[in-house]
Chains A and B, each alone.
Chain A
Amino acid sequence: MLELLQQSLFSGLLVGSVYALVALGIALTFGAMKIINLAHGELVLLAAYMAYVIESRTGWNPYAAIPLAFALTGIVSVVIYLLIERIREHRELNSLILTFAIGIILTNAILLVFASDVRSTGSPFLQDAVSFGPVYAMKGEITAFIISLAVMAGLWWWLKNSWYGRAVRAVSSNRDAAKLMGIDPRRVELAAFIVAGILASVAGVALYTMSVVQPALGPGLTIKAFIVAVLAGVGSIPGVFCAALLLGVTEAMTVTLASSALQELVGMVLFLLVLFFMPNGLFGARARRG
């Protein structure tokens, strides 16, 4: 039994790191603009398919696709921002419906271009098994975990030290005050969307290397990411990371202790409980102030 629990803890952590990558993009744009980008899952999927294109055409490692994937997701992310900008009334709710519509468009565009076949990496290196004492993983999962950590550290540094990063935080915590300080919120929001695009491109490639992708995956990714963002309490990167790992581990433990048929149920119930009883999330004490 102990061995079972060790392995599912480990597997859960690895899966959680990819949830974290996907969720960070949603959390970032939500923080900066108070807008939930429901097309974020499709952005991630778009990047995953770019990894497929690069790998199947050139035989390179899928991670070589990140620049191309970023170019694409970055452009789409900016387009989404520019469209949201055009909404005049009830921006909070109408943007929800708009990004949802963009999600439908992207899903079907992927379906039109790539058909409904399932895709995943063929790289022998990434699929290779590796063990750490009693627990096992695919090398692709370990790679994704390390890259996820690195990206998160990079994002944390950016938010803390760069002018734009600090501006994003300022706008997130108090938009009007930030305006008075001479920050143009539009530029900051745009920056947030571009960074969300970068995050989506890395997340997509990581997803492709450790899991299986197909066109219908987008909405599910968005929902998982949103669950993580709510658990975290929007606003803190370590919070998002911890919440994502928590979700991953909870799912894996549900599979081990009960049945996989119930794993989504547990995630959803956790989500609702936190939403109702801990409106600031598990890790964000000061998150939703302002």
Chain B
Amino acid sequence: MRSLPALLILAVAIAVPIAFGGNSYVMGLMVSALIVAGVALAWALLGNLGGMVSFGHAAFFGVGAYTSAILSAKFGLPVPLALLAGACGAALCSIVMLPALRLSGPYFALAILAYAHIFKILATEATSITGGSAGFQRFPPLPTVLGLDLSSRVGSYGLLVVLVALCAAIYLAVKRSHVGTALRAMAESEDATRVVGVNATLLKAWMLLLSAFITGLFGAMNAHIINFLEPDYAFSASWSILPIIAAIFGGYRTILGPVAGAVLIYLFDQIIAKELLPVGHEILLGVLLAGMILIAPNGLFGMFQRKATKGAAHAAA
């Protein structure tokens, strides 16, 4: 019964290419939405388990993208390995952010934002490696594996569905492990957990690393799908903003919330909001985000879950 929403989402994910496989527009939208979904998942992991709000996930996204693109173009690394290297690169760069873990909530959020700016400027200035602001193109697209062309829209979509599901599974595993329990206790009272011997900062560091890894992976995926990089794009603030909106909308304390939120928000923005307001349609996203924080800070899935637990409690009584 509890896995019903997950099964439902999986069924939709399989139905989409069957229904719209030939329509590259819809598939293109879904591919972009899933990229955001992956980052939203990573953002929510850090927020939910680590208790940290980040405004700078674009840093990991951009580093992942550039690492993978450069390794595959200049060093001939096969794309699947380059993707993994991109994710590791993002995780590595999160190490320089570790000092920020000592900061309290808002300071952490904005310190990460500063890091994102710094990485963007470095990517612009390191012309010999990144091509600078002129951009970097001509790196290999996603390969064909077992006869399935992953660079086609349906292929990319399939791979992204698998990756998002995999990341969600990792998230779930962490959440259910001892680490997850400790982290939840920490969120209640950091001092109390320190007394019983939990190293809070170390656990938070692991969450930051994991979140960066996942974000970098999707950044790398996006690079090989779009096949063009420039600092303004790879480190664009929208890679920080959209996942926040998606995760808050879907419910950042759940695992499915950010994923479903990303797809719904992206499709709403591109299909409905753009139709209503050709210029400045992001204003509707702003209204949506503000409204969610005020009315339902736990998001759509949060409300759903709360009702479900209430219902279960009633049934038990």
Contacts and interface: CB of A to CB of B under 8 A. Distances in A.
A129 interface: no
Contacts of A269: 118
B311 interface: no
A105 B103 contact: no
Nearest to B290: A101
A112 B109 contact: no
A93 to B, nearest CB: 5
Interface string B273-294: 0000101111101110110011
Given A87-B297, A261-B125, A269-B118, A97 B280 contact: no
A223 B289 CA distance: 20
A228 to B, nearest CB: 12
Interface stretch (A5-13, A183-191, A200-208, A271-279): A271-279
A265 interface: yes
Contact of B105 (A88, A92, A102, A264): A92
Interface in B247-286: 248, 277, 279-283, 285-286
A86 B117 contact: no
Contact of A230 (B107, B115, B118, B286): B107
Interface residues of B, number: 40
Which applies to chain A's interface (DSSP): helix, strand, loop or mixed? Answer: helix
Interface in B223-241: 237, 241
Contacts of B107: 230, 275
Contacts of B244: 97, 100
A83 B294 contact: yes
B111 interface: yes
Contacts, number: 109
Contact of A96 (B53, B125, B285): B53
B237 A272 contact: no
A104 B286 contact: yes
Contacts of B106: 36, 92-93, 96
Nearest to B282: A108
Contacts of B113: 223
B294 A87 contact: yes
A275 B53 CA distance: 17
Contacts of B103: 275
Contacts of B55: 100
A102 B286 contact: yes
Interface of B: 53, 55, 99-100, 102-103, 105-107, 109-111, 113-115, 117-118, 121-122, 124-125, 237, 241, 244-245, 248, 277, 279-283, 285-287, 289-290, 293-294, 297
19 contacts: A97-B244, A97-B248, A97-B289, A98-B290, A101-B287, A101-B290, A104-B283, A108-B281, A108-B282, A112-B283, A219-B237, A223-B117, A227-B114, A268-B118, A268-B121, A271-B114, A272-B111, A275-B107, A276-B102
